[in-house]
Amino acid sequence: MRVVVFSDSHGNYDVLEKIMERHKEDGDLFIHLGDGEREFELLTYVYDGKKLLFVSGNCDWGTDKPDYDIVNIEGKTIFFTHGARFGVKGDLNIAKLYARKSGADILLYGHTHIAMTDYDDGLYIMNPGSCGRPREGLPSYGIIDITEAGIAMHTAEI
């Protein structure tokens, strides 16, 4: 199972389409971590057969989407959020607490526009960076592979 994760596209539909085209054959689930609801909604029409999930970010004004969600796939639980609500620009303690209380194996968050992966006492953690407005380096997104052997994750530049 391959999960493709993107965040903070901020109106840049073209970059989302580039990621989708790159992974249309191997991507099983696509998760957008907020600040890009308008372009994400367009993706749901263009890629109607793909499983796409979205949470709202602090720049997705007037949305009815939640700012965090939980999905269970391949026996693993993913807690995903934009992160503003959980103060991820300061530290990850609150986000980790919510993820752990939810029984999550994986925590995904955005908001900082800086890509990172980590592992903390049984919890895989990823920020895919920003595919629309990176603060460091090139635009990026994340890839998570869930197999019988375990979980592997990394970020990729566009």
| Domain locations in the chain as residue ranges | 2-157
Each residue's pLDDT expressed in tens, for the chain with a length of 158 residues: 999 999 999 999 999 999 999 999 999 999 999 999 999 999 999 999 999 999 999 999 999 999 999 999 999 999 999 999 999 999 999 999 999 999 999 999 999 999 999 999 999 999 999 999 999 899 999 999 999 999 999 999 99
Q: What is the pLDDT of residue 54?
A: 97
pLDDT on residue 103: 98
- State residue 81's pLDDT score: 98
Q: What is the CATH number of domain 2-157?
A: 3.60.21.10
* Cα torsion through 50, 38, 137, 20, rounded to 10: 20
pTM, 2 dp:
0.97
Instruction: For residue 151, give the H/E element and its range.
Output: strand 150-157
> Residue 55 and residue 63: Cα distance in Å, rounded?
10
